[in-house]
Amino acid sequence: MATPRLGRALTTCPNCLGRLPLARPTATQVLPSPLQQLTQVRHARTLTKAELEDLQGIPVRLLKNIAGFGKQHSIIRVKPGRMRNQWHHKGLAEYMTKKRFTELGLTEAAIGVRDRTFGTKLLDEEDGDSQKIVTNEPVKTKKKETIVMTADESRALLQDLLPKVLVFARKPIAAPEPAKDPEPVVSRNFALAANAQVSTQTAAEAAAVPEQPQQDTKAIFGSVAPTDVVARIREALLADSNGSRVSFEAEAVSILGLEAGEDRIKRLGVYEVEIVTGKGLEPVRRTVEVVPETD
């Protein structure tokens, strides 16, 4: 049996390698350029589920700004159920048929993609990793409707719950002490003392100043305004479960016995107030007493 013929080993001599025949490209074969050899080829990015949904559906034209979809007059694709059940009967969007495209002078190339960030803003959390979407539209909250009592019922409730006297404590303004006259200097010489006494009396008569009106000792710091009276009335109405149903403002409270041009109490004393609950009804009268504030 003949022994197998061993292949010739590839030489490693540089001179021998230079004499080896090189394969030449044919006429139809194009060698890649060095730039193409260094170019990195990336695979196409796959679309997400949300992006695929935005490319599917029927074309519609938004008639109003819709948060999370786009602004007015945008043409996008949405699911038929959303258009039929939510938007079309509310006038939020219209169907874009071929006839409608022709009327607007547009083609299907005008169909865009839903803008999920329209009408929203992204707020970074403290950790900086997670984000949440907050809409710019104001949140509508349902207000609890309160049934207001009639004027007659409000007047009867005020008569029952309000005390006869409403007491307010205010700090009085202290009156300044009058200046004392200096004591005359008595000289040891009897002749000079007599002359000095006459001179002192003459100077006192010449410098006599008419008495100034006494300062009002009942003046107080701050005042008692109708709003203060309203606040005190509301505190008294809290004793009844129906007190919150009484509706009146500061304009319904009038303070009697004030000087011309004044609308609030600025002095210590006793005053009368009237509370009007309705037109044609007799006002509720109470006494307001302003007393000095104790430390």
Mean pLDDT over each residue of the chain, to the nearest integer: 76
What is the Cα–Cα distance from 238 to 70, expressed in whole angstroms? 50
Segments of the chain assigned to CATH 3.40.5.10: 49-110
Segments of the chain assigned to CATH 3.10.430.100: 148-173+215-294
* Confidence at 135, pLDDT banded by 50, 70, 90: low
pLDDT score at 244: 79
Q: What percent of the chain has pLDDT over 70?
A: 62
Do the beta carbons of residue 251 and residue 279 sit within 8 Å?
Answer: no
Q: Single out the residue of 287, 294, 295 nearest to residue 269, CA to CA.
A: 287
- Write down the pTM of the prediction: 0.41
What pLDDT, in 10s, does the model give residues 62-73?
A: 999 999 899 999
Give the chain's end-to-end CA distance (angstroms, integer).
131
What is the Cα–Cα distance from 163 to 233, expressed in whole angstroms? 9
Q: Does domain 148-173+215-294 have CATH number 3.40.50.620?
A: no
Q: Does domain 49-110 have CATH number 3.40.5.10?
A: yes
Q: How far is CA 196 from CA 181, 189, 190, 205, 226, in A?
A: 16, 10, 10, 14, 61
Of all helices (H) and strands (E), which one includes residue 239? none
pLDDT score at 126: 45
What pLDDT, in 10s, does the model give residues 219-266?
A: 888 888 888 988 888 888 888 888 778 877 888 888 988 888 888 888
Do the beta carbons of residue 168 and residue 273 sit within 8 Å?
Answer: no
